[in-house]
Amino acid sequence: MEYIKRMVVCLICLAAIATVICINIRADDVVTNAKGAVLMEPESGKILHSKNMDAKLQMASTTKIMTAILTIESGNIDEPFTVDSEAIKVEGSSMGLLEGDTVTKRTLCYGMLLPSGNDAANAAAVAVAGSVDRFVEMMNRKAKELELNSTSFVTPSGLDDFTDGHYSTALDMAKLAAYALKNDVFREICSTKSISLDLGGRSIWLSNTNKLLGSCDGVFGVKTGFTDKAGRCLITACERDGISLICVTLGDSTDWIDHTNLYEYGFSVIERLSLGGDSYKVPAVGGCENVVELKSEEICLTIDKGSGEKVEKTVILPQFIYAPSEQGSVFGQVIYYLDGGVVAVSELRLAEDLNIKTE
């Protein structure tokens, strides 16, 4: 009996220690095997953790994030066409396209984002731009547009065994993923675990190579990758309690574990803060009412956990509001500050119409 009591006491102590460790986890405690890594809150661009995030590294099939979003943005994504017979003759991972298959651009996006089909990426490139080379030019133009200044594309698929010119950084790829996930079609496709697709007379079943879908709480994308040169590459996105994070690891042999641990850390150090929704009274001139109401817009802000009490605000109100003025018109601002810097601005809008007073 005494032995059992001692064991219970030990277990309680261990649990308490583990709790303390989890609560007090620091960025320095988060370790990854990646050559380059970043954990980012995409709405603000806040970096929660990084490791060589600006190092130029091969990114393998995570390249297909760019290929897929350009394909979606090209339009007519549900218009059927026959795949280019030469484009689908490519090595590596495949969605299983055959000569004569009828597809849509949407179908090809499933093929490149779920099983990481190189055939799908090449077929989409030809369908969008007329040739792989011209599509690669589009990829690099888009990279410049998105200010991915340390990124260079050579192939739509991410195959890199014949070139050293195909590279990016963990930070650039996080920015690319954040951009792509704003597109509802892209987000839906990359979050799909499996799907059956019709190829014009035959059907195929595709499964997502992203093992964290369904196994890590909140993960909803984005793309896996591997080549001998790049090693294991993984870009995921995760949402919990209204907060989204994007994690990128390049050249990481333990990527599944690292992403899980990074998310546990990330969500433990940030929180969602709701601001605005307040009302203010302002004198009215020449209107049916002597006083009108201004309401501040509701906004949400992702901040370091525990720093909400430090948020300060300055309210800028007009001395008077003159009739006539329409409901929704802006007549001021509420500026929110944290640690001396502006973190959010909420506009003050007229709650109701202010009509001219008539005798």
Rounded-to-integer distance, Cα 294 and Cα 312, Å? 20
22 is a domain residue: no
Considering the candidates 35, 61, 168, 295, report the single residue annotated as catalytic. 61
**C-beta contacts of 206-214 below 8 A and 24+ residues apart:** 206/95, 206/110, 206/111, 206/114, 206/115, 207/114, 207/115, 208/113, 208/114, 208/115, 209/114, 209/115, 209/116, 210/234, 210/236, 211/256, 212/236, 212/256, 212/259, 212/260
Domain count, the chain: 2
- pLDDT by position in tens, the chain (length 359): 343 344 333 433 333 333 333 334 555 567 899 999 999 999 989 999 999 999 999 999 999 999 999 999 999 999 999 999 999 999 999 999 999 999 999 999 999 999 999 999 999 999 999 999 999 999 999 999 999 999 999 999 999 999 999 999 999 999 999 999 999 999 999 999 999 999 998 999 999 999 999 999 999 999 999 999 999 999 999 999 999 999 999 999 999 999 999 999 999 999 999 999 999 999 999 888 899 999 999 999 899 999 999 999 999 999 999 999 999 999 999 999 999 999 999 999 999 999 988 76
Rounded-to-integer distance, Cα 253 and Cα 231, Å? 7
CATH of the domain at 346: 2.60.410.10
Q: Please check whether residues 45 and 124 belong to one and the same domain.
A: yes
Q: 357 to each of 180, 285, 322, 324, 331, how far by Cα in Å? A: 51, 9, 11, 9, 20
Q: Please check whether residues 259 and 301 belong to one and the same domain.
A: no
Could you list the residue range(s) of the whole structural domain that residue 323 is in? 276-350
Residue 116 is a catalytic residue: yes
Considering the candidates 64, 105, 142, 295, report the single residue annotated as catalytic. 64
Domain boundary among 269, 293, 318: 269
Q: Please check whether residues 35 and 107 belong to one and the same domain.
A: yes
DSSP state for residue 28 in the 8-state scheme: G
Q: Cite the DSSP H helix spans in 244-357.
A: 255-269
14 is a domain residue: no
Rounded-to-integer distance, Cα 206 and Cα 213, Å? 14
Domain boundary among 240, 269, 298: 269
Residue 279 is a catalytic residue: no
Rounded-to-integer distance, Cα 197 and Cα 194, Å? 10
Using a cut of 0.75, tell me whether the model's pTM lies above it: yes
Q: Please check whether residues 131 and 171 belong to one and the same domain.
A: yes
Rounded-to-integer distance, Cα 323 and Cα 175, Å? 46
8 is a domain residue: no
Domain boundary among 224, 249, 269: 269
Considering the candidates 116, 296, 325, 346, report the single residue annotated as catalytic. 116
CATH of the domain at 133: 3.40.710.10
